[in-house]
Amino acid sequence: MKRVWLFSLICVLPFVSVGQVDKLFKKVKDKVNYRVDKNVNKAIDKSLDEAEQSVKNGGNSGGATSTSTNNNTAPNTPDNPTTSTVLKSYARYDFVPGEKVIYANDFATDNMGELPTGWNSNGSGAVVTISGQKGNWAQFYQNSVYLTDNKESFTENFTVEFDLILRRENPKAAFPVLAFGFFAAGTESTTSNDYLKEYAKNFATELKIQPYDNNASHIHYESLDAHKRFLNTDIKKTPELEKYFNKIIHVAMQVQKERLRIWMNEEKLYDLPKAIKAGTDFNQLFFAVKRYGGADSEVGYNVTNIKIAKGIPDTRHKLIDEGAFSTTGILFDVNTATIKPESNGVLTEIAGILKMHTEVKIKIVGHTDSDGSDASNLELSRKRSGAVKDALVKDFGIEASRIETEGKGESAPVADNKTKEGKAGNRRVEFIKL
């Protein structure tokens, strides 16, 4: 049938005008697009029907649904902590966080349904929980800018991390554009209303994300100096983003003077040696949802576990020459001793030092913040130090006989447990040369 139709079309073409040919081909193209869209919609509807039936049968659809119930629990009060080595999926991840935490926020103490305490925005925003995910999340809405409550300088060397969810509850809803980065507020307040419309009035970095279906997602980075482009990159296709809809993406950024590197999960998206204007003093992290997509209730963005740390860890010098190295960069699932995959950069660095200095033996000491009971924190810290040893032995080939472990729970704080930043600094792993 298709051959007969094509033959008929070829026979007719010599007897029609150029304009008529254009119109004919446009009709054919529109017809093809309509049929493709129709088939795609049928496939989506079929998947939704299967997912719905799975839920009715007691399964789980896996979608991310915002709720108003606060299911957050104390991060160091385990029921049954388990031990696991670092996930293999982050084998290439080489990000190492800064030495000292200067800002941290997991929204654990914020009021549900309200903008995070101390933040500023020119639109709506709310702290929510997400079905199937742990902890509290800041939910962003369209055509809005968000400024954190940080007031401290990042210094010229620093790192920024946070967890991001590309939340979509309606598979047919289109994502708006998400932008995030950091800027220098100069002598003004970091939460000034002026920066809600002009966050690039001094100097700012901005990464724009546009998630799409059919492997069409893309990102774009630029630096802005007093609104003028300082560095502008080409649009970069990121088809893998589609795989992470409704899943956690760990975003990490590292600045070393003029150099900027950006990761999403284990993939290094950018390594830009001259992305930053020399001497820029950054002191604010911002998020902005631009343009319009589907309804806010159907599609949008959520973030949590924000951590900004300053300095560049000199791991080898501290461990080998000074005898001890402490890091907040080895992360664990809430209430467990399960190592998160984004810890791989720190573990790789430690393992490299131990392989270079084969005569060195170490003790791994786990520490927690003060949330939860003394006994549960002590037990959790012991299991976490054991998990780190297991990772170094099983994943990196370090001899078990070279490593001792200990847990100190909350008994040796290095910062004030009354602040979010202090708690983040106290949740650490220490390596001591024996």
Distance of CA 381 to the CA centre of its chain: 25
Residue 66: pLDDT band (50, 70, 90) is very low
What is the residue type of 279? Answer: G
Per-residue pLDDT at 291? 80
Residue 292: pLDDT band (50, 70, 90) is confident
**Which range (72-76, 161-165, 333-337) has the least confidence?**
72-76
State the Cα–Cα distance between residues 23 and 64, nearest whole angstrom. Answer: 44
Confidence check: pLDDT of 85 > 70: no
Per-residue pLDDT at 88? 66
Mean pLDDT (the chain) is 84
Q: Which candidate, 434, 347, 422, places its Cα nearest to that of 387? A: 347
Q: Which candidate, 128, 115, 102, places its Cα nearest to that of 307? A: 102
Q: Which candidate, 96, 203, 104, 205, places its Cα nearest to that of 159? A: 96
- Each domain of the chain, given as residue ranges in start order, spans 19-58, 97-310, 315-433
Confidence check: pLDDT of 79 > 80: no
Per-residue pLDDT at 268? 95
From residue 166, alpha-carbon distances to 18, 140, 173, 235 in Å are 46, 11, 12, 19
Per-residue pLDDT at 175? 97
Confidence check: pLDDT of 32 > 90: no
Could you report the per-residue pLDDT of 88-142, keeping only the tens digit for each?
668 889 999 999 999 999 999 999 999 999 999 999 999 999 999 999 999 999 9
Q: Which two tokens stand for residue 308?
A: 């900004």
CATH architecture of 97-310: Sandwich (2.60)
Per-residue pLDDT at 57? 39
For 277-311, letters b (16+ CB in 10 Å) and e give beebebbbbbbbbeeebbebeebbbbbbbbbbbbe
Could you report the per-residue pLDDT of 240-251, keeping only the tens digit for each?
999 999 999 999
DSSP 8-state secondary structure symbol assigned to residue 245: B
State the Cα–Cα distance between residues 312 and 416, nearest whole angstrom. Answer: 22
Could you report the per-residue pLDDT of 143-164, keeping only the tens digit for each?
999 999 999 999 999 999 999 9
Q: Which candidate, 231, 286, 240, 297, places its Cα nearest to that of 264? A: 240
User: How much is the pTM?
Assistant: 0.79
| Contact yes or no for 407/385 (Cβ under 8 A) | yes
Could you report the per-residue pLDDT of 204-233, keeping only the tens digit for each?
999 999 999 999 999 999 999 999 999 999
Distance of CA 244 to the CA centre of its chain: 11
State the Cα–Cα distance between residues 324 and 315, nearest whole angstrom. Answer: 9
DSSP codes of every residue in 189-225: -TT-THHHH-TTSSEEEEEEEE--TTTT-EEEEEEEE
Give the mean model confidence (pLDDT) for residues 263-287: 96
Could you report the per-residue pLDDT of 405-427, keeping only the tens digit for each?
999 999 999 999 999 999 999 99
Per-residue pLDDT at 87? 54
Residue 37: pLDDT band (50, 70, 90) is very low
DSSP 8-state secondary structure symbol assigned to residue 33: H
Residue 191: pLDDT band (50, 70, 90) is very high
User: What is the CA angle 254-343-421, rounded to 5?
Assistant: 65
Residue 302, SS3 per DSSP:
strand
Which residues is 264 bridged to in the sheet? 251, 267
If one looks up domain 315-433 in CATH, what number appears?
3.30.1330.60
Residue 260: pLDDT band (50, 70, 90) is very high
Could you report the per-residue pLDDT of 49-64, keeping only the tens digit for each?
443 343 333 333 334 4
**Which range (46-55, 172-181, 262-271, 373-382) has the least confidence?**
46-55
